[in-house]
Structure 1
């Protein structure tokens, strides 16, 4: 494997549940000289520290390999880099995510069109490793969009890496009158160990990788080039990454954050400031207990009994 020149940044691909913690990315290393693959967390910290300490190493660019379904991984990676960056000023950058949810939806729609052409009666199963309720819910939301704006196929989502979890979805499709199904990965999986076409999996087949290897490499190189350019202008991308998971998860409220003001007409009144955070898909519970001429000490202290209705992160 050839080594990058002194002027080239080293590349670290960080992957979460969309790539089996980076395992699905390792075949790419043969085409990315000097690149590394890491899971998030301590593994990423160790990998980046080791690369930065290599003799003659100019800079390191970390690329979050996600289609947008794992924002917590991006935020965790940014947090790791924020601890390392002060030790290597100007030498460490976080690139933009590999892709977005809109990209994923478009690529999956293209896959359903391809399936429709070669097997018009086949259903499509959009499959991914189960992660957490929010990322799994995103998978089902995307499957609905693909079904609604796709090629007319029956489309189902399956969140689970084990064969028996996928089999539940295939059996449901058979009961609905779809004995043939094509399983399309919603991540970076390039092959499958499931015995498609045999036994319980008769009538099912694996679509193959969602994107070609060359397409994946092209996107990664673009992300690295953009990150290196921004780093040369003083933007390491880490602060943006720290906010990647803002609004992801349960919506929560600041209904009991009291704002006190004193004026001629409203002296001594306490007015709760009510607003909610979330990604627009959860339910934000707000309770405004303001009242003219009354203070609400329970609101200011957060001890109101209805606090149990507010989702917290």
Structure 2
């Protein structure tokens, strides 16, 4: 692999449903020189191709701006880069994701403490743009963790396709005895056009950005620096990115394996929020699943005897 030049890297922040396809990231560009924002897909391909055609030959680093709830965006970005990288050896890298699900949970727990401090009686409503059943389910899982390990305030979650979803959640909280609520974004939204505090939104307030501007800038710079370092040592991050959405979706089960002992792939999640595929041989020399060979678990039967 050719070595990257010593020129400063050009950076592309690729956004998905956690950042309104990148629109929420635009305010950061004033503090990030040589940086652009793009959605995934053809827009990313066009942006990266244009940067790679620059005569100075600077490396290009793509940073997936996700808290870990959009692994398909990361995999799509990696696929785009995998087509472009062979044409520009040593110049293109995919950085590690901005954050992980554990980071998101920790930031939301910190927000729960702050909500409790500001408004001790207020509920916390974690809100995010509706995406797909799996990413939305992750939102509710994280809300449960924040509720369980939070500050003692009521915590709910809503995947928002329109203001009606937000209104319905606030009304449900009122019926449960929580007339006050603070809406906390589970993404990169920094402001809201919803008329919180007025009319149907009386008693509700917008929390503000989940992560401070300086913290976001610091993380992005760290991701870029790490990606450039990896590129200099022959690791462009693209292969890992291609596996980002492995295991995301319907759970894998051995119960319907056609052949006992057949080898197949598991995906394990590691600290950078990406899945890495490992193949395990489920044969007599490996670990064995008696339920796959023997049928059902008796203790899970739905038949009741009198």
TMscore range, shorter length: 0.7 to 0.9
TM-superposed CA distance for 1:162, in Å, is: 1.7
The answer for the alignment partner of 2:262 in structure 1 is 273
How far apart, in 2, do the equivalents of 1:279 and 1:204 lie?
40
TM-superposed CA distance for 1:55, in Å, is: 1.9
How far apart, in 2, do the equivalents of 1:222 and 1:275 lie?
36
The answer for the alignment partner of 1:231 in structure 2 is 231
SS of match in other structure, 2:102: helix
SS of match in other structure, 1:250: coil
TM-score when scaled to structure 2?
0.84
SS of match in other structure, 2:12: strand
1:75–1:245 Cα contact (<8 Å) kept: yes
TM-superposed CA distance for 1:54, in Å, is: 1.4
How far apart, in 2, do the equivalents of 1:113 and 1:149 lie?
10
1:113 matched to 2:102: no
How far apart, in 2, do the equivalents of 1:66 and 1:119 lie?
29
The answer for the alignment partner of 2:143 in structure 1 is 143
How far apart, in 1, do the equivalents of 2:179 and 2:137 lie?
26
1:252–1:276 Cα contact (<8 Å) kept: no
TM-superposed CA distance for 1:163, in Å, is: 1.2
Write out aligned runs for 1:119-134 (5 A). Answer: 119-134=119-134
Work out which of the two has the higher radius of gyration on C-alpha atoms and give 1 or 2. 1
The answer for the alignment partner of 2:35 in structure 1 is 35
The answer for the alignment partner of 1:95 in structure 2 is 95
Give 5+ residue unaligned stretches, structure 2: 270-289, 296-306
How far apart, in 2, do the equivalents of 1:278 and 1:11 lie?
29
1:253–1:275 Cα contact (<8 Å) kept: no
Give 5+ residue unaligned stretches, structure 1: 259-270, 281-285, 292-313
The answer for the alignment partner of 1:78 in structure 2 is 78
Give CA-to-partner distance per residue, 1:230-271, whole Å, 9 cap, x none: 10000000000011111100123464443xxxxxxxxxxxx4
How far apart, in 2, do the equivalents of 1:257 and 1:31 lie?
55
Give CA-to-partner distance per residue, 1:194-231, whole Å, 9 cap, x none: 11001000000000000111110000000000000010
Larger RCO: Structure 1 or Structure 2 (Cα < 8 Å, ≥ 6 residues apart)?
2
1:11–1:63 Cα contact (<8 Å) kept: yes
2:143–2:156 Cα contact (<8 Å) kept: yes
How far apart, in 1, do the equivalents of 2:199 and 2:213 lie?
31
1:252–1:278 Cα contact (<8 Å) kept: no
SS of match in other structure, 1:21: helix
Please report the RMSD computed on the Cα atoms of aligned residues, expressed in angstroms.
2.2
- The number of aligned residues is 271
2:58–2:91 Cα contact (<8 Å) kept: yes
TM-score when scaled to structure 1?
0.82
How far apart, in 1, do the equivalents of 2:30 and 2:131 lie?
28
